[in-house]
Amino acid sequence: MTDRNIIELRGVEKRYGTFVAAAGINLDLKEGEFFSLLGPSGCGKTTVLRMIAGFQEPTKGSVLIDGQDMEGVPANNRPTNMVFQSYAIFPHLNVGNNVAYGLRGKAPKAEIDQRVAEALEMVELGGLQDRGAGELSGGQRQRVALARALIMRPKVLLLDEPLSALDKKLREQMQFEMRNLQQSLGITFVMVTHDQYEAMTMSDRIGVMFNGRLKQVDTPTTLYARPCDQQVASFIGEMNILPAQLLDETGDTLSINAAAFGRMEIERNPNVATSDRNMNIGIRPEQLEIAAEKPEDYPSTVQGTVSNVAFYGENIHYHIQVAGTETPISVSVPNYFHTVDFNRGDAVWLGLQGASVIDLGQSTE
């Protein structure tokens, strides 16, 4: 990744009549970066991607690719290529001709053949040139779509929900493969996804979108640890959100009185707007300790009752009903010893370190 901006979005807005699909989008993407646009369906992330590709023109603002304003430049003349959600493999062409599609007429046949062979090798489909488009599995279609786009040597590769059509196992495998491919090629990848895990495992940075607005742009770890508000906090991973009162603040340390857990000291979150007297805090389920006896080495503790148990295999989720808050607190425990230690109705203790509590700023209610 370099410091050079390959894509710059300047106040981009897209309206359909009165419906605002995207607005106020300002975004700089670095050369060689793997960037994901993450958000629920209908949040405008695909619209942003299609405006970069040139399939849609922004109503307002400008899209710059490699420093050049793309206004009036049609999709076929932009230095971007796209992997479509449906893969859009040409059904009347075999694998080799699909991959060669964009090079036909632009390079001599021998060069095309060689580049097709290399591209197919790269996506681990070496030698499948003559395979018909209809004879491919979902994963192979995805690889052909990747090869067909990458053979064009684009400055930016755009991926529209590239893994959503694959089953879970294949999806996880492809996440790593695509990440490795991107790093070895050094091409900027911009991916649209609604899957937070996909976005987190693959991306250098993630832009989270809600209702046509770009809420937060950060690295996966920062997004997880320092979300800018409750909406982002609960979209990225699971989050227990509790109300709290701000008692005192000294530097970056906030002294608060949280529901259920009582007084504690937490770190200020620089990403949230302000921390008002009435504020919210977030606690990740895996940051809570659950025990039968009161855990001594945790400064904040609360007693509760198990209301639900869900066994996920790699970890176990408990829902704990505690005094002081209506919604049960969700706790996730790694499955170390292949035992489920607590059952519904058991009385348990929850322990918490102030350092793992996330300041979510002023309450939005």
Which residues of the shown chain bind other proteins in the complex (CB under 8 A)? 53, 55, 74-77, 80-82, 84-86, 88, 90-93, 97, 100-102, 104, 106, 148-149, 152
- Taking the least distance from each CB to other proteins, the nearer of 45 and 215 is 45
The minimum distance between CB 162 and other proteins, in angstroms, equals: 13
Q: How far is CA 64 from CA 4, 7, 29, 72, 81, in A?
A: 13, 6, 10, 12, 15
Neighbour order of strands in the sheet with 205-210: 80-83, 156-160, 188-193, 34-38, 205-210, 213-218
Structure tokens at 164: 């959503």
Closest CA to 23 of 73, 71, 63, 61: 61
Give alpha helix (H) positions in the chain.
Answer: 45-53, 95-100, 109-122, 138-150, 168-185, 196-202, 220-225, 230-235
Q: Are strands 289-291 and 5-16 parallel, antiparallel or unpaired?
A: unpaired
- Taking the least distance from each CB to other proteins, the nearer of 74 and 186 is 74
The minimum distance between CB 38 and other proteins, in angstroms, equals: 22
Closest CA to 332 of 354, 311, 301: 311
**Residues in the chain, total:** 365
- Taking the least distance from each CB to other proteins, the nearer of 45 and 319 is 45
What SS3 class is residue 297? coil
- Taking the least distance from each CB to other proteins, the nearer of 106 and 338 is 106
The minimum distance between CB 87 and other proteins, in angstroms, equals: 8
The minimum distance between CB 363 and other proteins, in angstroms, equals: 44
The minimum distance between CB 148 and other proteins, in angstroms, equals: 7
- Taking the least distance from each CB to other proteins, the nearer of 102 and 351 is 102
The minimum distance between CB 160 and other proteins, in angstroms, equals: 9
Q: How far is CA 202 from CA 40, 59, 177, 279, in A?
A: 18, 31, 10, 33
Structure tokens at 149: 């786009």
Structure tokens at 266: 């937490």
- Taking the least distance from each CB to other proteins, the nearer of 46 and 196 is 46
The minimum distance between CB 34 and other proteins, in angstroms, equals: 20
- Taking the least distance from each CB to other proteins, the nearer of 71 and 252 is 71
